Amino acid sequence: MVNVVVLDYGSGNLRSAERALARAGAEVSVTADFKAAMEADGLVVPGVGAFSACMRGLKAVRGEQVIGRRLAGGRPVLGICVGMQILFAEGVEHGEHTEGCGEWPGVVERLDAPILPHMGWNTVQAPEGSVLFAGLDAATRFYFVHSYGVRKFDLEAGPGFAQPLVTWAEHGVPFVAAVENGPLMATQFHPEKSGDAGAVLLKNWLGTL
């Protein structure tokens, strides 16, 4: 059984992530302990609320260092919702610019949609070769709750660097719904709240550990 740490940095939704991962077959602990987060087979970074608040909480537990060091060693990290957003370079909310972890280029900004937040079930367009979405068809729906997202993803393949697999969804405008980039993966939606489909996705992720 693989060991997974859900990083506790003051953001909500920890226990539902813990339960969903346990049901998917992992041994799960919820902690802010640096050593435990570094040594786990997999690290899950959840997140709800404002980008700036999540970044403050993350830095308070040295979470950005944990993420960076794990990825430098090829150790898997999964971001969920705002836990995905903070992996990008910058978040802009109410005119406030906040620096993110910078693992991917891109800006998290307000969606241009007639109704916000984007709350409820939506389909996604996963690319060919996706590991996270293996076994799930195009009609599968996932649960979203957000008003902000990444509307443009610019990261090309390079020497020794494969092109990330980007999954898209649409609410008013297209936005990034998931990214698979070697050991770093993330979803804008909540797999832990997405029923059977979310359980399949989490099992697929655990299979990469």
133/137 Cα distance (integer angstroms) = 8
180 is a catalytic site residue: no
Catalytic: which of 54, 81, 101, 180? 81
Residue 133, burial from CB neighbour count under 10 angstroms (0-12, 13-18, 19+): buried
Cα separation, 107 vs 85, in Å, equals 9
Taking the C-alpha atoms of residue 122 and residue 59, their distance in angstroms, rounded to an integer, is 32
Contact predicate 188/125, CB 8 Å: no
190 is catalytic: yes
Residue given tokens 């609410």 in the structure block: 171
192 is catalytic: yes
Residue 106 Rama label (left phi>0; alpha psi -120 to 50; beta) = left
Of 118, 146, 171, 190, which residue is the catalytic one? 190
Q: How far apart are CA 186 and CA 203, in angstroms?
A: 14
User: Which residue is associated with the tokens 């836990």?
Assistant: 83
Active site residues: 81, 190, 192
